[in-house]
Structure 1
Amino acid sequence: MTAGAVTFRSVLAVGEFRALWFAELLSQAGDQLARVALSVLVYQRTNSAALTGLTFALTYLPTMIGGLLLAGLGDRFPRRTVMVVSDVVRAVLVAAMAIPGVPLWLLCLLLTVVVMANGPFKAAQLALLPDILDEQRYVVGLAVRNVTVQSSQVAGFAGGGLLVSLLDPYLALGLDAATFALSALIIQVGVRWRPSARSAKDPVRLTAFGSVWRDPRLRLIALVSWLSLFYIAPESLAAPYAAELGLGALAVGLIMASHPVGSIVGAYVFTRYVTEANRLRSLALMGILAGIPLVFCVFRPELTTSMILFGLTGAFSTAYTLQCAATATRLLPDTGRAQGIGLLATAALTAQGIGALVAGSLADLSGASLAVAFCGMAGVAVAIPLTYAWTRQVHTVGPRT
């Protein structure tokens, strides 16, 4: 079957996938809206790009703990149950964050636990997808999921910027809590229960790390995923970047929305018009192309040009992210799929958290635009040897037949 034979519509025709799709649309939109609120709130209180970057990092970095220690729950317990419980926990904690006047330190503590709960949810969700979609639909299903995530980011970031500028950041957090509750309900009703991949009595082992480490292909996929360390800079520095341009909260949301807009285009083009053999071959090359647009921020472009550059980075980074996920899922055994996918997803999200922190520190020293440009240069430099290494391994993977 050709790359264009399976369409987004045919994937969305699968009822269980449609339930997961709608649930993720809700919770992701709320998450991005909350990120705008937190970025604006912290920058207003502290006027520090470094502390803003640190807060943004807390929306990603604790996933390392959740992914490493809790992702295996998606193999040891029914995956639908893991997702529902994770959503309920996050709904309660984010509702506590939405109480006006919560101290900044408590806000950060609650946020850390919320993000930790994202690890088992995402691992269980991605491990469940191959059970819902056959191989022909799977990679297109990943693209639909990515478009959903990025579309909800656009709505959350752009709408969040407007909402926060007109109303109160705590309202955004309250809406985020509601989306988690609705997501749990939709998954419970719309996704069929399946038994766990292995017995809950089995001892917990970090088998995924060994599987990834021993397989050079999975090691490279993990390293390519870590390129997000460099490419998170525009989103994490949106508030100081907008301030550098003399703009306000609405511009913060628009800058944050630029990357997901590009991701939507990139996901559609990459899965619709590029054959799987070419997707495999270009996996790491996309990492080089993702960094090049950010380099042009050295010229301190105005808002529209900056948004275009950030959108291009989003398109290319989405291309390698999709292929990393599809290839890794094929290489991992079902009994350890959730833990393996959780480990790789954790690596990418943790890299984003570290990158946000580093970018914020650089911005305090050099300014936001120069910090973004430096991150782009560093990403290109790291991606070049990874691209060479992947060309020596890609023949051992091969496209689906």
Structure 2
Amino acid sequence: MTGAPARKPGLRDVFAQPGYRRLWAARTVSQWGDVVNTVALALLIYRLTGSGLGVSGVVAAEIAPVLLLAPFAGPLIDRWPRVRVMVASDLFRFVLAAGLAVWHDAPAGVYAIAFGMSIGAVFFNPAASSVLPTLVPKEDLVAANSGIWTAAVLSQIALAPLAGLLVTGVGYGPAFAINAASYALSALLLRGLRVPSPPEHLERRRLLADAREGVRVLLRHRLLRALAAGQLLAALSAGATSALLVVLAEDHLGVTGSGYGLLIGAIGIGAALGPLALLRLIRQPRRPLFVFGPFALRGVVDLVLASVTALPVAVAALVAYGVGTSTGAVTFNSMLQAETPEQVRGRVFASMDVLWQGGRLVSLAAGGLLADQYGIQVVYYLGGLLLLAAAAAGFSTVQPVHPR
């Protein structure tokens, strides 16, 4: 009817779609296992190696497959049925997680399995992101991504402490077995997923030629180029500031133990509230303001954290940081899904993964050196400036995007 207000999509709309419900359930169950696995893996490798460097080795083992394989995974995801890619990835990780539940006494074996499980994620994550736009209308993408993001955040808040208790109480094997079971259940749920709009046939060329086509799409599309720049600058910032929050807490804020836990909890609270506020308060969440604005919010928070020493102020700032992280992730992914051509989604999402993990790896290395040489405040000042640069790059590159 003429003059009627535009529909404001919400969680009820997307959960009314059977395909979305199935994808959401599979990703949520898998996230439960991932939380348990992350906690157990960090505790295990620290027990086996007795060093922080050993724990960092797990992070490196998880990042390396993205940098090595994503350029090849993207074209394959665009060639193959994406649901089958997700199922195969889950089954591959199920076998590895089941093996880790039985054999977890040698650091080399743990690193190898962490590397292998990341290979599965290299294929699963871009395929899942590529499938979502075929399950819900374009105007519902923000609500759809909000549902998945909120479930992941709440899973981490609720299950991370329980995972620590599980490892302490019954050992590492049962924790890894839970992760294996989550992959099996996810694969079972995804087997029944029907994608209404399969990707168009992709001409069989060399993988590198197909990968280059995905990069060309990123570089030539004005909005996608802005999103890629924001992704890289944010990774260069967040890789160090996230990992070194414990250093900020001790050296700058003067808190340890429960104080550090309070800071982590503040981020979690903000991250959980962000998508709910986005759906309830904002009518056009895919506007550039809500895609690139969260970069600026997080940048300001980093500058505040580097400047203040009062714990209450830092806690309040980190709640805002969590809101910026979650709303930014939801709107960023939604715009990327909406604007990327169907036939190159796998390659574009794989390229974004390379930018994120590569920037994160550089940031981790540089951040540690800067913190040791010049102090943790310099790391947070620089991180804040990088995030403000990401926001500025986005706002200066794109024109207002009007809802379709």
Contact 2:40 2:175 in 1 (8 A): yes
* Separation in structure 2 between the aligned mates of residue 381 and residue 309 of structure 1, nearest angstrom: 16
Alpha-carbon spacing, 1:196–1:6, altered in 2? closer, same or farther (3 Å): closer
Partner of 1:186: 189
Distance 1:353 1:28, change over 3 A: farther
1:276 aligns to what SS in structure 2? coil
| Cα distance change, pair 124–21 in 1 and its aligned pair in 2 (3 A) | same
Other-structure match for 2:228:
222
For residue 165 of structure 2, what is the amino acid of its counterpart? L
Question: Are 2:65 and 1:58 aligned?
Answer: no
Alignment of 1:113-132 (within 5 A): 113-132=116-135
Equivalent position to 1:284, from 280, 292, 304:
292
| Alpha-carbon separation, structure 1, partners of 2:15 and 2:51 | 43
Matched, 1:231 2:235: no
* Identity among equivalent pairs (%): 21
Q: Which runs of 5+ in 2 are unaligned?
A: none
Match of 2:217 among 201, 211, 217: 211
Measured after TM superposition, the shift of residue 100 of structure 1 is 4.2
Does structure 1 conserve the Cα–Cα contact (< 8 Å) formed by 2:288 and 2:395?
no
**Partner residue, 1:94:** 97
Please state how far the C-alpha of 1:86 moved relative to its aligned partner.
Answer: 0.6
Specify every segment of 5 or more residues in structure 1 that has no aligned partner in the other structure, as ranges: none
Q: Deviations over 1:282-326 (max 9, x none)?
A: 433321321443455556776x87665544322212222222222
1:333 is matched with which residue: 311, 336, 341? 341
Counterpart amino acid of 1:184? A
Q: 1:175, CA displacement in angstroms?
A: 1.4
Match of 1:342 among 339, 350, 366: 350
DSSP-derived class of the 2:62 partner = coil
1:223 counterpart letter in structure 2:
A
For each residue in 1:100-148, what CA deviation from the matched residue of structure 2 results, as whole angstroms up to 9, or x when unmatched? Answer: 4431122112211211221221111111111110112122111112112
1:77: which partner in 2?
Answer: 80
Instruction: Report the counterpart of residue 282 of structure 2 in structure 1.
Output: 274
1:315 corresponds to which of 313, 323, 336: 323
Rounded to whole Å, the distance in 2 between the matches of 1:286 and 1:76 is 34
Give the residue type in structure 2 aligned to 1:319.
T
Q: Which structure: larger Rg?
A: 2
Distance 1:99 1:291, change over 3 A: farther
Contact kept? 2:241, 2:379, Cα under 8 Å: no
Tell me if structure 2 keeps the 8 A contact 1:259–1:313: yes
User: Would the alpha carbon gap of residues 228 and 155 (structure 1) be closer, same or farther in structure 2, given more than 3 Å must change?
Assistant: farther
Stretch of structure 1 that moved more, 218-227 or 374-383: 374-383
Tell me, what secondary structure is at the counterpart of 2:192? helix
Over 3 Å counting, the alpha-carbon distance change for 1:28 and 1:383 in structure 2 is same
Provide TM-score, normalisation by structure 2. Answer: 0.84
Aligned equivalents of 1:259 and 1:71: distance in 2? Answer: 32
Tell me the matched-pair count. Answer: 393
Q: State the AA in 2 paired with 1:321.
A: A
Q: Is the 8 A contact 1:222 1:344 kept in 2?
A: yes
Superposition RMSD on alpha carbons, in Å? 3.3
Q: Give distance in 2, aligned partners of 1:240 and 1:184.
A: 39
Residue 146 of structure 1, aligned match among 146, 149, 162 = 149
Supply the AA of the counterpart residue of 1:314: G
Which range is displaced more, 115-124 or 307-316? 307-316
Mapped contact 2:241–2:380 kept (Cα < 8 A): no
1:199 Cα deviation from its structure 2 partner: 4.0
SS in 2 for 1:98: helix
Alpha-carbon spacing, 1:234–1:259, altered in 2? closer, same or farther (3 Å): farther
CA distance in 2, matches of 1:96, 1:305: 45
Alignment partner of 1:377 is 2:385: no
Does the 8 A contact of 1:4 with 1:273 survive in 2?
no
**SS at the partner of 2:149?**
helix
Q: How does 1:379-398 map to 2 (within 5 A)?
A: 379-395=383-399, 398=401
Q: Residue 284 of structure 1 aligns to a residue in which SS?
A: helix
Match of 1:174 in 2: 177
Superimposed CA distance per residue, residues 53-107 of structure 1 (whole angstroms, 9 cap, x where no aligned partner):
3323433443233422212222111111011001000111122222344311221
Q: TM-score, normalised by structure 1?
A: 0.84
The one-letter code matched in structure 2 to 1:327 is M
Q: Retained in 1: the 8 A contact 2:286–2:331?
A: no
Distance in 1 of aligned mates of 2:160 and 2:302: 20
Deviation digits for residues 138-190 of structure 1 (CA, Å, limit 9, x no counterpart): 22111112112222222332322332343423432221111111100011024
The 1:243/1:388 distance shift into structure 2, 3 A limit, reads closer
2:200 corresponds to 1:197 = yes
Task: Return the offset for 1:29.
Answer: 1.8
Change (3 A) 1:212 1:149: same
- Code of the residue aligned with 2:339 in structure 1: it is L
> Is the contact between residue 77 and residue 195 of structure 1 (CA under 8 Å) also seen in structure 2?
no
Of residues 265-274 and 52-61 in structure 1, the stretch that sits farther from structure 2 once superposed is: 52-61
